[in-house]
Each structure stands twice: as structure tokens, then as C-alpha cells.
Amino acid sequence: MKKKYFVSTFLSFLLLTMFTISSFAQGNCNDLTSPIETQIGLSAQPSGFFVRSGTQQGRIFRDAIASTCPSKVYPGIFNAGSTYNYTAIRFFNSAAVPTCITVNFDPNSGGTPCATNGHAIIYQGAGGVSTTPYDPANQGANYLGDVGSSATQSFSATVAPGWFEVVFTNTSAVSNCSIRFSFAPNGGVIMCDMASGPIGACGTGFPKLIPASGTGGAGCTFPTLSPATVAATGNIGAGPGDYVLDFIEIDLIHTWASDLDIYLVSPGGAVTAELSTDNGGSTGLDAGAILVFDDDSANVITGWTGGAPAGDYRAEGGLLNTLFAGQSINGDWTLRICDDSGGDSGTLYNYCINFTQNSIVVGNPPTIICPADIVINNTAGTCGGVANFAGVAFDVEDGNISSSIVATPASGSTFPVGVTTVNLSVTDSDG
């Protein structure tokens, strides 16, 4: 840990060195009352949030009823055969109890306003556990409420502690148009995707055909590939600051589930993990489903021989955190799906991968006791003078660490006539 101190030196035939302390605080996302702008169908906005986007078939019917807490009856799907863009933005309810939230929706502002071509909906999975509760292939699942129309207005829903998504969709045509939104004051319990929370990434360009061309066959000639790019840095492991691969979510449909061989490839391709090969029988994905792979699951994927899949499974090839131990999380985690038998096909609607960072235990920061102000005469015949000083630093865990103080410029330097800033810093054993 570092604390920075500043030294000012004033010379008017004298050198005056003054030591002051400045402190800084890092901002956070515990108040989202300011307008946030996004473009429907694009993942680049808003910057700093966890955003996923793509296309979907159909959109929620606008019934002109803005939802109120706790929730609203799902109004149903509209134009199921038409394609629309969507953008899903993740948030977190940090309260210990369910919270009534209000979203202020404005489709009439932003760079290219959506106007009547925008809609807003709130989704949350059971218990707030899922970081991606919105399923574009099943828009009624996990639904809590929506704005009811494409007018500038507010709508509300009650969210449990945990993760939820606010989703924005087109209503009349595929467009990357803009909307703005914000949350009503909530005491700071609604937060954006903080660095200390789960780190996730999703593929883009959905939906994708399975296989990528034709109806499959031996040799995986046309694999369906979906890279999810993780921007964070660090390695998978059990140590402080390492990352744990929490779970993988794959939203797909296929007319013969056991034709599929599903793999996860680490960034750079060093490790390929077998998630599922030839499971689900002939009917397992007929209606579409979300396959979840989690090391903590009690379900064995090879036991899935037909019908709807279980809520989660262990990967067929072994524990993911063991297979990927030591691998960097930074880069493209690529989902690879092979259809190894001809005659059937399907669609990949979404794929996401989620990590959590292990806790880093950090002790108390060190304290520096600054030297008193220094006033010296300039050296005769020169426009400067030598200033000598020493600070004292203490740390709860490490004791006296004065010898570790770094001063720039250093004590004993020649200070010119005028103002000189000296930076004093010290680093304890916590780093």
C-alpha cells in the first residue's frame, strides 16, 4: 500500500520546504441516479458495465401498463417471427432483503433516440444467483416487469438480493438506436458490476447455427464457435487474488441433443475441456434449454438421456477449475460445438462464462509522520540550496518501516529557487 505526501519549497533568497498530506478515494457504482446511455444491440455501451447483446425472435407485447412492485403479469410475446435487437445490462442488489426498484426510462434522448422503437424490461433468476437471467429465446422466463410502452416514464419491480438485468429491445425494427435510463434513489443498494463481484463475459453475434453449415456429420467439419472475451487479468487457482471459474451457461436448441459434442477452449488454446459429448438423447433440446456447467453440481451429465436437462451439471471431462488451473482468464474463452451426425440441426442463442476472484486479505495501511517545514538559505552564488529531511513510517503489522520511505526528489538534493514538490511514499508487506 502507498500513501503519497507532497512537499512544497518556496525560495525568495530563502528555501522553504512544506510537507502536506493528500488522500484520495476511488469512486464506486453505489448510486446510479445519473442518466446512463446505451445503444440497443451493441455491447460497447455503457462503458464500465457488464453488457451483453444480440438478436431475438419476437419481443414483449406493450400493454401500456408500467409495472409496479412487486411484479407484473407477463404480457406475452408479439411478432414472434420478427427479428429485434436486445441489450442486457447487469446490476446487483446489495441489500439483505428484497428491494423495490424504479427505473426511469427515456427513449427520446441519446445520440440516435429510439423513440417508439425502444422498450425496457427487468429480469431476475431465482434467488438472484444467475448473472445472466435474461433468455432471449424464452422472454417469459425470469420476467419481473416492464415499462409497458415506448414513452418516457418510470416503472418498478421488486428484486431479491443478488444479480438482475435491465433489458432494452427494439419494438418495430432492428436498430442500434439510443436510450437513456437511470434508477430512482435507493440508498445505494443497487450497484453496477463492481470489480469485487463476479467477472463474466458472453459471446456475441447470436443466434448462431448448429452446425455452422449443413446438418452435421463425422469430423466436425463446421463447428459452431463462440468466443467470450474476458478483459480482467489473473489466473485460475486457489490462492488469494486467483480466480475461480464459477459456471458456464449455454442457451441452445437442437433437434437431436445427443448429436452434440460441446467443449470449452481456454485463451490461446492451451487447454480444451469436454463439457458434454453425445448426451441428452433425441429429445433433450427439442424445446430449447440452458445448459449450466458448475463444479459444485451434484448432477452427472452422462445421466442425461432425454427430456429437459437438470438445472446444472458437472463437466463430463472433469472439474473445470482443475482442468484450467494456472490458466490466465484474460482473452477469448471459446465455446466449440460439434454436430457429429447428419440430419439434424439447431441454434445457439447465448453463451456466457463467469469467474469470481478469491479474497485478498489486506492489513492496515502504513502511516507516515512528515518532517516539519524546512526553511534554508540558498547556497552563496547559486540559485538553490541543499535540503535534508527524513520522514518516519509505522505499520501495524510491520512496525517501523521508515527505511522503506522513498522521496522524490531525495533528501540531500539541491532544491532550486522556487517551488519544488517532493513525493514521499512507503509500501508495507501487504503491497
Alpha-carbon span 408 to 419, nearest angstrom: 14
- Residue 240's pLDDT is what? 78
Beta bridge partners of 93: 162, 190
Confidence class for position 28, pLDDT limits 50, 70, 90? very low
pTM of the prediction? 0.56
- Give the residue ranges of DSSP H helices in 256-405: 320-323
Which residue from 396, 393, 390, 395 is spatially nearest to 369, judged by alpha carbons? 393
Q: How confident is the model at residue 313 (pLDDT cuts 50, 70, 90)?
A: very high
Q: What is the pLDDT of residue 68?
A: 97
The answer to whether 351 and 224 are in contact (CB under 8 A) is no
Q: Report the pLDDT value the prediction gives residue 275, as an integer from 0 to 100.
A: 98
Does residue 46 have a pLDDT over 50? yes
C-alpha 164/C-alpha 294 separation (Å) is: 20
Phi/psi at 303 (nearest 5 deg)?
-85, -5
Over residues 336-349, mean pLDDT? 93
Of the pLDDT bands very low, low, confident and very high (cuts 50, 70, 90), residue 151 is very high
At residue 23, the pLDDT reads: 27
Q: Using one digit for the tens of pLDDT, what is the confidence trace for 199-245?
A: 778 888 888 999 999 888 888 889 999 999 988 888 999 887 889 99
The average pLDDT across 151-163 equals 94
Reported as a pLDDT band with limits 50, 70 and 90, residue 375 is confident
If pLDDT is split at 50, 70 and 90, which confidence band does 360 have?
A: low
Mean predicted confidence (pLDDT) in 321-347? 95
Q: Is the dihedral of CA 299, 304, 308, 314 positive or negative?
A: positive
Can you tell me the distance from the alpha carbon of 67 to that of 38, in angstroms, rounded to the nearest whole number? 22
pLDDT of residue 382: 85
Q: Is the pLDDT score of 383 beyond 70?
A: yes
Q: Any idea which of 35-39, 270-274, 333-337 has the lowest mean pLDDT?
A: 35-39
- C-beta of residue 215 within 8 angstroms of C-beta of residue 343: yes
Pick the range with the lowest mean pLDDT from 7-16, 244-253, 325-334.
Answer: 7-16
What pLDDT was estimated at residue 253? Answer: 94
Cell numbers 410502452: residue: 149
Mean pLDDT taken over the chain? 85
DSSP code of 183? E
Task: Pick the closest to residue 294 from 312, 308, 281 (CA basis).
Answer: 312
For residue 137, pLDDT beyond 60 = yes
CA distances from 188 to 45, 92, 121, 199 (A): 22, 11, 21, 21
For residues 346 and 372, the answer to whether their CB atoms sit within 8 Å is no
Amino acid code (one letter) for 161? P
Query: What whole-number distance in Å separates Cα of residue 425 and Cα of residue 23?
Result: 12
Share of the chain above pLDDT 90, in %: 52
CA distance 7 to 373: 9
Per-residue pLDDT, 282: 95
Residue 392 sits at φ, ψ, to 5 deg, of -125, 130
Say if residues 170 and 83 touch (Cβ distance below 8 Å): no
Three-class SS state of 287: coil
The kind and range of the H/E element at 275 are strand 272-277
Q: Give the SS3 label for residue 320.
A: helix
| CA–CA distance, 125 with 162 (Å, rounded to integer) | 9
Confidence at residue 418, expressed as pLDDT on a 0 to 100 scale? 78
User: How far apart (Å, rounded) are the C-alpha atoms in residues 349 and 157?
Assistant: 26
Provide the pLDDT for residue 333: 97
Task: Express as a percent the part of the chain with pLDDT over 70.
Answer: 88
Instruction: Give the Cα separation of 205 and 311 in Å (integer).
Output: 25
